[in-house]
Amino acid sequence: MWVAAFALVGPLLQAPAQPAAPHDPAGDPVPPSVRMDVVVRDGNGRPIADLRPQDFELQDNGVGQKVFAVERRVGVPAARADTAPIRSGEDEARAAAEPGTRVFAIVLDEFHVGPGAATERVRAALTDFVEHDLRPSDLAVVFKPLDAVTAIRFTRDRAALVAAIASFAGRKGDYTPRTAFEHEYFGTAEPAVTAARAQIATAALRELAIRMGELNADRGVILLVSEGFDRALASARQTRLPDLQGVVRAASRFHQVVYTFNPADGSAPATGGRDRELSTLTWLASQTGGTATLDGTDMEHALDRMAEDLGTYYALTYQPAKADGRFHAVDVRAKRKDAQVLARPGYWAPLASEVRAMMARTPGRVPSSRRMLRRSAAITVWTGLTRGDGASIRLVLTWQARSRAARSVIVHARTEGGRPLFDGPLAPIGEEGDVPDSVRFDVPSGRIQVDLDVRSITGATVDSDERDIDVPDLSARKGPVILTPEIVRAGSARQYRSLISKRDASPAPSRVFTRGDRLLIRVPVWESTGAPVDVTAKVASQWGQAMREVDRAAPAGPGVPQFDLPLSWLAPGDYLLELVGKSATGEARERVAFTVARQ
């Protein structure tokens, strides 16, 4: 079956999970779960794409761990991909959060790349990569060490990326300052300039990793193009400034991988200081699960291999025992003959105090405007926007467990300014009792911050999920708007009859169903003029080929057309639901991907 939580990827290979203990013997809180992204190749260097949970072994500091989720990540079919242009920060954030979007930062270290042949190799190889290996949905940016991290914007504009690459010129060996900042900070003496350039490159990499992390992309990739620099110089000027270990920590925290490329001819033997410069590239790649290419004549082929690595990989999730603030060595092996595993060597665990701070949720807490977002691996969460009473908009939230450790969640929702919107418990979808299995509450336009505390059967916090949801100002929209389509799953005829007229029926968090299911598709629409919106629905193949119209059912409420979709006629596979809303003032379209799994 296909993963609904990320709706991008390959099959979710669910291993039996053991409930996480709420506390260790010392009384410390359970740390957040750890995700390891691994590439597995065969003896010929080709990706292996058919491994199962039992094919992996994982050790944390030499102790075997139970992997409770294994996901095979593969590309999204072109018909599903979001390829909308990026025109604003909101577009950038939305696109980065889309299932299947990869975020690339192409770092051109002009201070440590020579002019001439090395620069020409960079231009040719990266232009080919952008034009042939980037997917339509990918985001990318071309970045240089002196660029302002806060001013960059990731884009899908391939022409702009190619133009930025074409303008690159290496400055290695040229110590002439070109800006007032360089003149004031670097000085003119060669040793001082060399040390300053190494420090600037290191600080830029760290800030870039954090900037990419703020986008909450599921797969962030840093392509560092540099002939290398001495790690000792990078931290020699002021020890309070970030060193390369800070880059590794940031990349580890945000599931980012660094691939390094030396564009210089690697045929000459490396000795002395040159060997130390190249070792920086090797170390940085190995610490983040990437690879280092030390011979520039192989740069184009190395970029092709990197594209293969990122095209098929596995995400392994497990529950560590301690939050001790130390580095944990992780060893991942695949039980397949001649299998080669590429993964970062470990992770930095948070301190117990940091975990407690993360768990602390008080209704009066005012969140910062720049916060770290996190998706829990223990639960699948679905959120959507629908019509409320009158002109109001409501946020809807449901969830289901992916780990047996997750038994309930506490939802905290508030505006970016800190005004509480909802605080309360939420049961998993389908669970009957006093606690509801979905929540609906009115939200204003703007950014809404939604935090979930994932609780065990004892009530202890075992994980957390922090996400931001942008609510549009519909009063400013012209023409019809389709809000978030809801899919209500009925497993029997009796259940279907009880749900079809229930306006607040809980939407399914997953988009994976069986042929025995019958789906109610609810399509909330908005028209600022109040004109009626006629909505139609079709089932299409995963490539967008129309298959059948979906029958209309009685509306679920004002402005919420409803459709009846039994799945018995569909073979197991991946499909699209195509929705079109038309009014006198325009047209709106929406696609929802879903999977019919084998029973």
pLDDT tens column, 114-125: 999 999 999 999
pLDDT in tens, 291-327: 999 999 999 999 999 998 888 889 898 988 877 767 8
Instruction: Give the range among 41-55, 188-202, 354-368 with minimum mean pLDDT.
Output: 354-368
pLDDT of 363 reads: 35
pLDDT of 216 reads: 80
pLDDT interval class at 47 (50, 70, 90) = confident
How far CA 329 is from CA of 219, 323, 511, in Å, comes to 22, 14, 35
| Type of residue numbered 485 | P
Residue 70 CB neighbour total at 10 angstroms:
23
Q: Which two tokens stand for residue 490?
A: 């009925």
Closest of 153, 1, 39, 138 to residue 83, by C-alpha: 138
Instruction: Give the range among 6-20, 251-265, 271-285 with minimum mean pLDDT.
Output: 6-20
pLDDT of 372 reads: 62
Q: Which is higher by pLDDT, 241 or 206?
A: 206
pLDDT of 217 reads: 79
DSSP collapsed to 3 states, 271-304: CCHHHHHHHHHHHHHHHHCCCEECCHHHHHHHHH
Q: What DSSP state is assigned to residue 267?
A: -
pLDDT of 599 reads: 62
pTM score, whole prediction = 0.58
Specify which residues 37 forms β-bridges with. 315
Q: Which is higher by pLDDT, 439 or 249?
A: 439
pLDDT of 423 reads: 96
Instruction: Give the range among 34-48, 57-71, 122-136, 369-383 with minimum mean pLDDT.
Output: 369-383
pLDDT of 10 reads: 36
DSSP collapsed to 3 states, 137-167: CCEEEEECCCCCHHHCCCECCHHHHHHHHHC
Residue 180 CB neighbour total at 10 angstroms:
8
Q: Which is higher by pLDDT, 24 or 7?
A: 24
Q: Which is higher by pLDDT, 476 or 55?
A: 55
Q: Which two tokens stand for residue 200?
A: 């600037």
Instruction: Give the range among 132-136, 179-183, 286-290, 377-381 with minimum mean pLDDT.
Output: 179-183
Burial 255-290 (b: 16+ CB within 10 A, else e): bbbbbbbbbbebeeeeeeeeebbbbbbbbbbbbbbb
**Is the model's pLDDT at 25 over the cut of 90?**
no
Instruction: Give the range among 12-16, 199-203, 344-348 with minimum mean pLDDT.
Output: 12-16
Mean pLDDT confidence for 156-173: 95
Mean pLDDT over each residue of the chain, to the nearest integer: 83
pLDDT interval class at 351 (50, 70, 90) = low
pLDDT of 486 reads: 95
**Is the model's pLDDT at 175 over the cut of 70?**
yes
Give CA–CA dist 268/113, Å, rounded: 16
Mean pLDDT confidence for 254-263: 93
Give CA–CA dist 489/519, Å, rounded: 5
pLDDT in tens, 505-560: 999 998 889 999 999 999 999 998 889 999 999 999 876 788 999 999 988 878 88
Spatial contact of 351 and 249, defined as CB atoms under 8 Å apart: no
pLDDT interval class at 61 (50, 70, 90) = very high
Identify the structural domains of the chain with CATH numbers, from first to last.
12-74+318-357 (no CATH), 89-311 (3.40.50.410), 478-599 (2.60.40.1220)
**Is the model's pLDDT at 3 over the cut of 50?**
no
pLDDT in tens, 363-413: 333 333 346 667 777 788 999 999 888 788 999 999 998 777 889 999 999
pLDDT in tens, 78-106: 545 667 888 888 888 888 877 678 999 99
Give CA–CA dist 270/470, Å, rounded: 52
pLDDT of 582 reads: 94
pLDDT interval class at 581 (50, 70, 90) = very high
Q: Which two tokens stand for residue 144?
A: 């240089």
